[in-house]
Structure 1
Amino acid sequence: MSLPAVEGCVEFQIIKLLSGYFSASRSISGCSRLVEDLCADSVDVVEIVMMIDETFNVELSSRQVAQWRSVADIVNSLVESQNALK
């Protein structure tokens, strides 16, 4: 599977997780900003990290999480973590 295909699959799974976490009335895409569009606060981010850790069996570093501004940032850090395991 090529890298863009892997990122697309990961993005779909992340959006599905976030859609279940946030209210169904919000439309979530890769461009969605965590704070501005999804109204995520620090507690939400911690819970999102825990969901991702559990779902994908990875540990995201605090450095990666601190760089999150959008759904695309989450996808990129997750793909980066998965590639580091290979």
Structure 2
Amino acid sequence: MQNIKQKIKKIISKIIETKDKKITSKTHLIHDLKIDSLDIIEMIMAIEEKFNIEIPDEEIENFQTIQSIIEYIQKHTK
């Protein structure tokens, strides 16, 4: 899980281009990081590429926190 978390944090940090925001498992994407819809699309594409998975559009709305993304990836990767 820690490895997944580090990769997610790296992807998000690159997208929002900031190093000053602390990203934890409980970090909320919209409220804490102020990620907009274009950032979310970019993030999802990067996650799909990094973890070699395909995330259906209807699943994306469930991604509220970093932890929700980690749990999805754990469930859908080998």
* TM-score class, shorter: 0.7 to 0.9
**Identity level (%):** 23
Q: Choose which of 50, 59, 65 in structure 1 pairs with 2:54.
A: 59
After the TM superposition, list the runs of 4 or more consecutive aligned residues in structure 1 that deviate by more than 4 angstroms. none
Structure 1 residue 14 and structure 2 residue 22: aligned? no
Question: Which of the two has higher C-alpha Rg?
Answer: 1
> TM-score, structure 2 length as denominator?
0.87
Asked if 1:49 corresponds to 2:44, the answer is: yes
Structure having the higher helix fraction is 1
**TM-score, normalised relative to structure 1:** 0.80
**Number of residue pairs matched?**
77
- Give ranges in structure 1 of 5+ residues lacking alignment: 1-6
Q: Please, which runs of 5 or more residues in structure 2 have no aligned partner?
A: none
